[in-house]
Structure 1
Amino acid sequence: MRVLYKRLSLTRLRTLSSYCCRWGSSRSADPHVAIVGSGPAGFYTAQQIIKGHPTVRVDIYEKLPVPFGLVRFGVAPDHPEVKNCIHTFTQTAHRDRCSFIGNVQVGKDIKVADLQKAYTAVVLCHGSSNDRKLGIPGEDLPNVLSARSFVGWYNGLPEDVGLSVNLDCETAIVLGHGNVALDVARVLLTPIDILAKTDISDYSMDALSKSRIKKVVLVGRRGPLQVAFTIKELREMITLPKCRTVIDLLTLSSLNENIDGEETNTHTVTIENINELPRPRRRLTELLYNAAVNPPEKYTKIWNDATREWHLKFLRSPSEIVPTSSKEGPEAVKFIINMLEGDDDPLRRKAVPTDETDVIPCGLVLRSIGYKGVPLDETVPFDTSRGVIPNKKGRVDGFPGLYCSGWIAEGPVFVLAGAMNNAFATGKVVLEDLGSSKLSSENKGGKDAVLSALQQKGVKTVTFTDWEKIDQAEILLGEKAGKPREKIVSIKEMIRVASSE
């Protein structure tokens, strides 16, 4: 046993020695990595770097006093299970080599170039904080809103708390066929007694309880084979209590051509065999078709008791948002009807306008056509057309030691699982460079120099321990209201709670 113990001890010493040779044996030379953004991309990148390096110190900078980004402010309140990743992020934040530094706006309070002077590496993970626009007349009318802002409004994002949302109308139009489009439609149509049990902000729940909206129309420019939402989101809409589903039958009629031999017209989507579609797309398409043409009894029972309804329309591109006579909001949306042409792959066909048009009356328009990144400051290269930072496998072009991951690196093309995979890949690239001669071996002080500069500017930073005070305060407020939490939506109040004893 004594011989075995000595052998094991020798093995551990050799392992430790190899680490020291690779990463450097001096504590003063430990690398420091700054991560900008505390959403999924930021935390997953931090997790990968800390896991892969024995001495690296990681500091996560966040512009708000609270962490978790879109997990806190983007996930629908009735999807609490999606927020379970917060437990993993919290474990990372509790590591002794990880620090959360909230209430710091990189680009304003401190430049990215200044972070590069203080850190061995800097990883930008600040996401896509803007949204794409349509570029059509009437888009700037009151009550024509981005779905991104509307989501921030009902989720308590401080910058969207004051959003002017008028629900005193019967019909809302959502432009887009993605998961966010279905999220905002579902929130508009969900019975208030269900929403009251979620962490939805109290002011938005009050507004939704007084809403007159009875119909939400989701409109997309392509067909049913090109929708971007998932089967889970669609099934939730179809089974929404007291809400009827109405799906455009004309567009879907061609999906049954192999069953009953129906002829198609130029406005339908033709496919040779639905069974040749990839399994996820086939299941989604079958659900669409059955809900439209042959709904099972479990769906019709819900719909027979409906007081509200949602419509799914295809092959329409908005050309104008028509104002009311007083121009205080929209009266209708004009659409150009499209047909699909092009690619042999039916999933990739493009929408081509025809001479036909359609008009749908409404009092609220929500634009859900995609998110777009914005540059932090002039010291970082940026592709304005794509809304991303130019990079190769996470390395920012021409800037050694500067990296990016998540939506700001690739665009808003993936959700949580994709963000995790992309962040892990970027983290591995950073580790690879830390273990080579690509990065400066100069001893950099990390957060100490940055915090000193921020203090001189009067910036009140928030630690993860401070955030946990906010967290507990929100949970206590929620218990009083019968909710999982009541979010604090004022930055001033967040900082007050964080500073309390």
Structure 2
Amino acid sequence: MRHIAIIGSGPAGYYTAEAALKQWGEDVKVDIFDRLPVPFGLIRTGVAPDHQSIKGVSRRYEQTALSDNVRFVGNVTIGQDVSIEELGGFYDAVVLATGAPRDRPLDLPGDRLGNVFGSAAFVGWYNGHPEFTSLAPDLSGETAVVIGMGNVALDVARILSKTRDEFAGSDIVAHALDALDVSKLRRIVILGRRGPHQIMMTPKELGELGHLSRGTPAVDPQDMPDEAEDALLEPGLRKSVNHLRAFAHNSAAGADIAIEFDFFAAPRALLGNGKVEAIEVERTRIEDGRAVGTGAFYELPASLVVSCIGYRTVPVPGVPFDERAGRFANDEGRILPGLYCVGWARRGPSGTIGTNRPDGFAIIEQIAADIGEGAGKAGRAGFDALAETRKLDVVTFRDWKRIEEAESARARSGAPREKFVDVADMIRARG
């Protein structure tokens, strides 16, 4: 019997568990640990609440979770409740699938001013992550600036633009919905250092901006490259650029909420007295694919700033960490003997949710080569004995299903659920 511990219950974790079952069938037992009492990680707290079809992938993970050989071990913090070294004594392999849940720092003068947030925190706030429920962004100003040219920036801009009616069918949490309902924002600027041909935005997400009831996306026509140059782009990016060309025909003048793309614009400093009031921006040009400053500066009013420039993995005591890359130091997923990483924890925040599936299968192939038939370790029985000694309040998948039922029961009309945003409330809801 092989015993595998997976740290993190998001897509990378469950795809790895699925791969382990396909590799060994009944000859493996997998424990999936999470510091929260609820599973699915990024699917629950990272995917936009109005993208329910994407969240539906959790049904696939549930099939794996309900296997007799897979167990969810929630409400257990690795490095605090139990160490990596201790887990290594119980399990043949420990796989870190912790993702990249921290914001890459903006690292600009003034980035600690009030009402400046990273996207992990801001998205966590409207998605009901317990760590970010008290964020309380001030939406009483007129202009929000979203820094970044990826899908997360589009998510933030779209969420800030929507009406209450447009959130029908979503699982945005009540405290965020109520705050957005009284928002005074009238202008949202999406700020990017490079140009339309360098965006990381996908066609579907860009297209959604064109169907908002009160938000009007607009692009300065002068920022668009010659249309003939689009032929050199890969097909997906070409479709995205086509959306931008359509937005270049829009006028945001008089719109309830103007969503302006500001290309070739690099933030250099955040300005304000205690709270952000403006951003100093430098115009850029593209040289060899890189944005370089032109020396031309201007100030952009900003009452709210959300930085969507990437994420970092959280270090774990006893695990080598690559500070520059913001992920665990590894060689194709191997960290140390018996210790592995997968998904964003391995490669950094890149790819889609589905990218984690081949990643999980690849790491299991490596583990299979390394551990053979297993070393006769105690596995979950060893952990359970330790948990009892330390009086850990472990949450099982069956407990989670009761929490899920309670969230469904308290949902507002038309919504799939109203998430508990406090860990203590989650624990109480399991009965």
- Please point out which of 323, 341, 365 is paired with 1:404: 341
1:20-31 matches, cutoff 5 A: 30-31=1-2
- Please point out which of 224, 231, 237 is paired with 1:275: 231
Number of equivalenced pairs: 430
1:409-488 matches, cutoff 5 A: 409-435=346-372, 441-478=374-411, 480-488=412-420
Match of 2:428 in 1: 496
Distance in 1 of aligned mates of 2:49 and 2:343:
23
CA-CA distance at 1:196 after TM superposition:
4.5
State the Cα deviation string for residues 443-494 of structure 1 (Å, max 9, x = none).
111122212222222220000000000000001111x544210001110111
Q: Please say if 1:362 is aligned against 2:302.
A: yes
Distance in 2 of aligned mates of 1:78 and 1:191:
12
Match of 1:25 in 2: none
State the Cα deviation string for residues 374-415 of structure 1 (Å, max 9, x = none).
2111x111111111112222211xx21111101010000112
Distance in 2 of aligned mates of 1:422 and 1:171:
40
State the Cα deviation string for residues 52-89 of structure 1 (Å, max 9, x = none).
10311000001000000000000101100001111111
Structure 1, unaligned runs of 5 or more:
1-29, 259-272, 343-348
Q: Please say if 1:114 is aligned against 2:54.
A: no
Q: Residue type of the partner of 2:181?
A: S
Identical aligned residues as a percent: 39
Hey, which of these two has a bigger chunk of strand by percent?
A: 2
Match of 1:162 in 2: 134
Distance in 1 of aligned mates of 2:230 and 2:419:
46
- Please point out which of 255, 270, 274 is paired with 2:226: 255
Match of 1:292 in 2: 248
Match of 2:161 in 1: 189
Checking the alignment, whether the CA contact within 8 Å between 2:145 and 2:305 is kept in structure 1 is yes
Distance in 2 of aligned mates of 1:60 and 1:126:
11
Checking the alignment, whether the CA contact within 8 Å between 2:344 and 2:350 is kept in structure 1 is yes
Distance in 1 of aligned mates of 2:210 and 2:202:
13
Distance in 2 of aligned mates of 1:421 and 1:248:
40
- Sort the Cα spacing of 1:482 and 1:287 in 2 relative to 1 into closer, same or farther, 3 A: closer
Checking the alignment, whether the CA contact within 8 Å between 1:316 and 1:338 is kept in structure 2 is yes
Checking the alignment, whether the CA contact within 8 Å between 1:58 and 1:99 is kept in structure 2 is yes
CA-CA distance at 1:359 after TM superposition:
1.2
1:83-98 matches, cutoff 5 A: 83-98=55-70
CA-CA distance at 1:191 after TM superposition:
1.1
CA-CA distance at 1:169 after TM superposition:
0.7
Q: Residue type of the partner of 1:487?
A: K
RMSD (CA atoms): 1.6
Q: Residue type of the partner of 2:152?
A: V
Q: Please say if 1:331 is aligned against 2:280.
A: no
Q: Please say if 1:384 is aligned against 2:355.
A: no
- Please point out which of 260, 264, 282 is paired with 1:315: 264
Checking the alignment, whether the CA contact within 8 Å between 1:322 and 1:331 is kept in structure 2 is yes
Q: Please say if 1:209 is aligned against 2:165.
A: no
State the Cα deviation string for residues 195-222 of structure 1 (Å, max 9, x = none).
2431111111111111101111000111
Question: Is the partner of 1:353 in helix, strand or coil?
Answer: strand
Of the structure 1 ranges 361-370 and 384-393, higher mean CA displacement relative to structure 2 is found in: 384-393
Of the structure 1 ranges 126-135 and 34-43, higher mean CA displacement relative to structure 2 is found in: 126-135
Structure of higher CA gyration radius: 1
CA-CA distance at 1:428 after TM superposition:
2.2
CA-CA distance at 1:305 after TM superposition:
8.8
Distance in 1 of aligned mates of 2:130 and 2:295:
44
Distance in 1 of aligned mates of 2:220 and 2:306:
20
Q: Give the structure-1-normalised TM-score.
A: 0.83
Question: Is the partner of 1:122 in helix, strand or coil?
Answer: strand
Hey, which of these two has a bigger chunk of helix by percent?
A: 1
Checking the alignment, whether the CA contact within 8 Å between 1:245 and 1:309 is kept in structure 2 is yes
Q: Residue type of the partner of 1:462?
A: V
Q: Residue type of the partner of 2:5?
A: A
Q: Give the structure-2-normalised TM-score.
A: 0.96
Q: Residue type of the partner of 1:453?
A: L
